Structure 1
Amino acid sequence: MIRALVLGLCAAAVLSALFCAVLIPLLRRAQIVDVPVDRSLHSVPVPRGGGIAVTLASVLAVVVAPAAAWTQGGFANFWERFAVVAIGLATILAFAVLGALEDLYSLPSLVRFQAQLGIGLLMGIAVCLKAGAPLWLALGIAACTAALVNVTNFMDGANGLTAGHGVVTAIWFAVVSLTVPLPGLGLLMVPVAGACLGFLPFNALKARVFLGDTGSYALGGAWSFCASLCLLEGVPANAAVAPLLVLVVDTGYTLWMRVRAGQRWYEPHKLHVYQRLVTSGWPHWGVALLVSLVAGLCSAVAFWDLRDGELSLLPVALMAVVLLVYGRVPAMIGAPSPFHKARGLR
């Protein structure tokens, strides 16, 4: 099994890098570029749609890894593995297609949101059937999926952030798969980690291509699938969402502070914690590293409960401290607060 996972990781990384190298000039030629606006953290047009490379590499490597695993391990748990891989791949592909349509045509927000809910609902029904859970839970999964896809998209604004976080998150869910165990989840997630890893050289230091909505939607859908499956299969709640909390907390904290300050919370902005760090002078790679570090720390702490199989107070408290410190980093480095004008907040 380990050999199959390593094969999937390496295959995805190589394929992702190759696809990026081929894709970048094609995107430029087709004028599929992200033009800087007021809320952007980049200053020159950059091709978007690199998520196509990440998605294709993940899908192809996911086929390689299970084939190797099933060759080594026979057909033990074949259908259980197949169900997990099939549902996960379908979710990733569906959200990637939706993201690609958004990259190309800028869909109306209502159409986009309805599509996110629809894909989330279908995924939720499939996960509930797989886990033997009540089907009404699919409604909650659909809402959470749409929210998480958008949160992942909101956080995809600094070079290397989403892909670096993706490496940590995918590896964590592979660890969950091997520890619980959840057959098939590791075979799906390790190639996703490899694909994100292969994308980083084209995005982390000097962005030659962005993931675009294609990539952020696909990854957001993947994370929602993993978290939903883990929760319904009895994984402790903090372990099921550990690396995702930094994305949710950054977005939620920013929204809460904007509402308290009397700002128009629904308008585009660049007031996320990570954005404030970049505008304060932090390099993109430093901010991406911080987000990945926070995700990794939360996951490491959650392993305590993952190993024991039950939720406990101390790991939850430690994770809360890590996330609280992350939210206060801009204030700790003396970054000017954009929230204090209306209410004196910082």
Structure 2
Amino acid sequence: MEPVLLAAVVLFAGAYAFINGFHDVSNSVATSVRTRALTPTVAVVLASVFNLTGALLSTALALVLADRFIQLPAGTPGLGILIAGLLAACGWGLWTWWRRMPSSSTHALVGGIVGSGAASTLVGGPNIAESYQVLLQQIVLPLLLSPVIAFVLAYLLVFPTTWLMRYSSPRRGDAGNRIAQSVFTSAFSLGHGMQDGQRTMAVIVLALVAAGFSGTTGIPLWVQIFSGVALAAGSLFGGWRISRTLGSRLVRIDPLRGMSATAVSSSMLFLGAVWLQIPLSSTQTMTSAIVGAGANQRFSTVRFIPLREILVTWLVTAPVTALLGGILFLAISPLL
């Protein structure tokens, strides 16, 4: 039974990565397309290529997540927890995409696994209680703090950027900001691949460990390629439903503020993946940076009704996916 469940985890992990790319490509391209820094086709292709490159570039974060993220029980119970958590995260990703709401795939995955782990104790199975403190310190706190930091940094970055452009004509300044924004858009996609691609790798490695096929000393090459290709494919076929929310509904964005938002969010993703080795939500980072940069105008253009809807979505993501993960684990528990 374990090989079948392991294959199911790999399949659902690939689906999670595909939906992640499908859902989050809007984060990469929304502002650059809105400010006409890139055409939609070029933006999506760049996002897909750099997502794949980022996933193949590093495995440091994946190793940290697989080693510290969760103490998964061995055998079929552990695989069942992963299956239920992945299914909950995939379902939430599709639902929020349909509702045009940017939401955190990381929050959804963490919530789903925590909920399925809690449900495991209800049926007398092993629990993951010892992992909850690590989840809080290493996962939840960075995800909660990163939107605030991104908002503040993007808001502040507008001041020096405006000062540097004070002698440039509006046309020349916009042209320069569009070029810089194109570069930062590629960098953001690279950071997204390093962050979200390695999350999928960590899940597959946890499944391999639970099934007794591998340790956490390294990421198999096939896992790295599989995760990167699934994420890039999702980005290539990504839906545009969320792009309008980020590019038009939240704030009125211009090339200078679009460049500021992508500069801050791409820098934070790199910092989290390479130096701090903590997971950051690309959705929350980019959305908060867009709002922060857009709020720094003579007359604030922030539209609070869609912003409130997004904040509510962020707050309920983990609880809802935890509930879904628990229900799904109880549903499949007779097979474990």
Question: Please, what TM-score do these two structures have when normalized by structure 1?
Answer: 0.31
Q: Between the two structures, name the one with larger relative contact order (CA 8 Å, sep ≥ 6).
A: 2
Question: Please, what TM-score do these two structures have when normalized by structure 2?
Answer: 0.32
Larger fraction in helix? 2
